[in-house]
């Protein structure tokens, strides 16, 4: 199940090391409407800078992706290399270079092995259609342990369109563009302004609500292509189809964000943190992220330690308005703290922490605002993966 009018290709360029496909191409048979979201890190990789300029046109036809090298902090040479990658692809496909987007992920600060990449691009273009979307998802992995793919069918009258998403990410994950690459493809025609607004809203409710280690990447990119191959009238926010399309897009991005957290480097547990009763939306988010990013909370979850004091401490330094004597904390369905004091339910709470999926609910009892953040536990394997990342 893939959207109509898209073709895929992968190749091995030995960008970091040989033995795996590390170069991929997504191609729409017709020019597509494009929308995007990018890292808010002030240090941006060369391909991100390139794509931010290109996305202003709202048009695109191809995305070339490499893993193993981020092409970040590589100066003018890095910018030239990204531009050259787009040009090599556009020449091979005989399309405008402005329609080719470039995405890279991997080691920061290392020059791109352009001679190896250039040598593979003609075959990459010639072999379009011989690889699957799953192959592309696998080719762009770095420390991921599995490809991340979500697809949804959406009925449009007597037609059925598809929204398909792939992403990569397992470490250096932090909010305000969670650190990753993500590509959303659909054969629906979508009004460009509508697609821009809908994608940003979906990103804010998914990828901007996850954290693994509190680190923000230089390469975060979400690109969405809508090629209109279904033949529908372009969806706008006034269309009768819009609520269904909007819901499906949000579900695809949220499911992808869950896959990233579940594949967190070294993670053994998936953790949903919900803060209720905050005085403002901003306070709810501050409190939830403070708990989610606390290494003490995350290691406690790994060790099945119902140490709710660590959660209370994180709430206190979060910057949100918090009243200790009003705060309730739940681990699973067990209320382990009531009005800032222990409830004597530690044994029951410890049993709840032995599950793979854990829910922490915090009620501040101050106002009517809430927020959810997804995270994972912190284990010895996270240190091992990142200590060995460049070797």
pTM of the prediction? 0.85
Q: Dump the DSSP string for 86-136.
A: HHHHHHHHTS-GGGEEEEEEEETTPPP-HHHHHHHHHHHHHTTTSB-HHHH
- Asked about 179 being catalytic, the answer comes back as yes
Query: Strands, DSSP E only, in the chain?
Result: 6-11, 23-38, 59-69, 100-107, 148-156, 159-168, 181-186, 221-226, 270-278, 328-331, 334-338, 341-342, 357-363, 369-376
Give me the count of residues in the chain. 391
Which residue ranges form the domains of the chain, and what is each CATH number?
6-262 (3.60.70.12), 270-387 (3.10.20.340)
Res. 52: pLDDT tops 90: yes
State how far the Cα of 353 lies from the Cα of 337, in Å rounded to an integer: 15
Res. 391: pLDDT tops 60: no
Res. 282: pLDDT tops 60: yes
pLDDT digits (tens, 9 = 90+) for 127-185: 999 999 999 999 998 878 889 999 999 988 888 999 999 998 765 545 454 457 999 99
In 3D, which of 253, 259, 222, 260 has the Cα closest to residue 103? 222
Query: At what angle are helices 281-293 and 308-317 packed, to 10 degrees?
Result: 130
In 3D, which of 225, 258, 8 has the Cα closest to residue 150? 258
Catalytic residue chosen out of the listed positions 10, 105, 143, 179: 179
Cα–Cα distances (Å) from 388 to 232, 267, 298, in that order, read 49, 16, 22
pLDDT digits (tens, 9 = 90+) for 92-131: 999 999 999 999 988 889 999 999 999 999 999 999 999 9
DSSP structure class, residue 2: -
Q: Which residues make Cβ contacts (< 8 Å) with residue 7, sequence separation at least 6?
A: 27, 29, 128, 129
């Amino acid at each position: 199940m893939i959207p109509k009018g898209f073709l895929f290709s992968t190749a091995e360029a030995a960008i970091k090391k040989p033995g795996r496909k590390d170069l991929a191409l997504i191609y729409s048979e017709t020019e597509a409407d494009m929308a995007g979201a990018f890292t808010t890190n002030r240090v941006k990789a060369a391909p991100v800078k390139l794509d931010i300029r290109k996305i202003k046109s709202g048009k695109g036809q191809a995305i070339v992706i490499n893993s193993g090298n981020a092409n970040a902090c590589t100066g003018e040479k890095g910018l030239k290399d990204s531009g050259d990658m787009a040009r090599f692809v556009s020449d091979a496909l005989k399309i405008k270079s402005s329609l080719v987007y470039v995405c890279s992920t991997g080691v920061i600060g290392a020059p791109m092995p352009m001679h190896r990449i250039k040598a593979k691009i003609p075959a990459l273009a010639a072999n379009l259609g011989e690889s699957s979307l799953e192959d592309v998802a696998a080719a762009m992995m770095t420390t991921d342990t599995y490809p991340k793919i979500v697809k949804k069918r959406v009925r449009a009258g007597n037609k059925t369109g598809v929204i398909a998403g792939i992403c990569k990410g397992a470490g250096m994950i932090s909010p305000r563009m969670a650190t990753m690459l993500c590509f959303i493809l659909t054969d629906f025609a979508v009004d460009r302004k509508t697609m821009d607004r809908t994608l940003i809203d979906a990103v804010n409710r998914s990828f901007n609500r996850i954290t693994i280690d509190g680190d923000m990447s230089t390469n975060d990119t979400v690109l969405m292509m809508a090629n209109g191959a279904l033949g529908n009238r372009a969806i706008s926010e006034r269309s009768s189809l819009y609520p269904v399309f909007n819901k499906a897009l949000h579900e695809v991005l949220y499911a992808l964000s869950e896959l990233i957290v579940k594949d967190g480097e070294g993670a053994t547990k998936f953790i949903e943190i919900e803060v209720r009763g905050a005085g403002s939306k901003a306070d709810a988010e501050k409190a939830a992220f403070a708990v989610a990013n606390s290494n003490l909370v995350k290691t406690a979850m790994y060790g099945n330690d119902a140490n709710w004091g660590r959660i209370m401490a994180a709430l206190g330094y979060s910057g949100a308005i918090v009243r200790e004597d009003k705060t309730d904390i739940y681990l699973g369905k067990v209320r382990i703290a009531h009005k800032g004091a222990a409830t004597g339910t530690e044994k029951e709470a410890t049993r709840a922490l032995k599950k793979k999926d854990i829910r922490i609910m915090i009620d501040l009892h101050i106002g009517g605002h809430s927020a959810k953040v997804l995270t994972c536990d912190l284990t010895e394997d996270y240190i091992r993966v990142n200590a060995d990342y460049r070797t």
